[in-house]
Amino acid sequence: MIKPSKEYYELIDAYKIIHQEEGKFKGISLAPLVPTLIHLTKENNCKTLLDYGCGKALPYDKDRCKEVGLLKPVQELCNIESFDLYDPAYKKYATLPDKKYDVVVCTDVLEHIAEQDIDYVLTEILSRSKKMVFLNISCQPALKHFKQGKLKGKNLHISVFDPSWWMHKIANIWNKFNNIKVYTLCETKEGTHATCIKKEKK
């Protein structure tokens, strides 16, 4: 069983501090991806959803979703009947439910995880999916850095790798859960690299 490293918890503590700033980690990176998510959840008949690393989860808040550019919350736009939100660095959503969902969404998260803990986080994500996983990963440095603590001066994107590195890493974990589809968008300076890992039909 894969377990998180000491650095994993140090990073969580660092992100907890950043979360205390009102405008940080609102979940804004999900908003422009919603049209794609609507298409994929419909195509795969998804009715239950987990957002892993949701931040303050404004895209799911019917009273505040307009702050991130959405007219309706994600669950309504995607016709989701039941959903849960998880972010270990935000107290309101810090408990990860022990169940499976039709779709697990994870946007702007994996690049914030130390390399040695990526297998652990990917396993947590894929093991909770019944049908599909939707990943969005930045493959370039963030514009901001940690301002205090042990990580002061380090870029907020701890793990910056090219799309081929990520696809190899994701495929290795997917081999343990190959009954699901994994849709991945890797954002680079050159553009977005989109892939889907799924079991080939015989």
CATH number of the domain to which 45 belongs: 3.40.50
3-state helix, strand, coil in the chain (%, to 5): 35, 20, 45
- Residue 1 in domain: no
- Residue 12 in domain: no
Q: Are 30 and 40 in contact (CB under 8 A)?
A: no
The model's pLDDT over 37-88, given as tens digits with 9 standing for 90+, comes to 999 999 999 999 999 999 999 999 999 999 999 999 999 999 999 999 999 9
Alpha carbon distance 19, 91 (integer Å):
10
Q: Domains in the chain: how many in total?
A: 1
- Residue 177 in domain: yes
- Measured CA to CA in angstroms, residue 167 lies from 1, 105, 106, 192 at distances of 22, 17, 15, 13
- Residue 9 in domain: no
Alpha carbon distance 2, 123 (integer Å):
8
Q: What is the pLDDT of residue 21?
A: 76
Query: Does 28 have pLDDT greater than 70?
Result: yes
Phi, psi at residue 103, to the nearest 5°? -135, 140
Alpha carbon distance 86, 98 (integer Å):
11
Alpha carbon distance 148, 50 (integer Å):
31
Query: Does 201 have pLDDT greater than 70?
Result: no
Confidence (pTM): 0.94
Alpha carbon distance 6, 176 (integer Å):
25
Region 132-151: mean pLDDT is 92
- Residue 4 in domain: no
Beta-strand relationship, 82-86 and 129-138? unpaired
Alpha carbon distance 4, 63 (integer Å):
35
Q: Are 51 and 31 in contact (CB under 8 A)?
A: no
- Residue 2 in domain: no
Q: By residue range, what is the domain housing residue 87?
A: 26-197
Q: Are 157 and 103 in contact (CB under 8 A)?
A: no
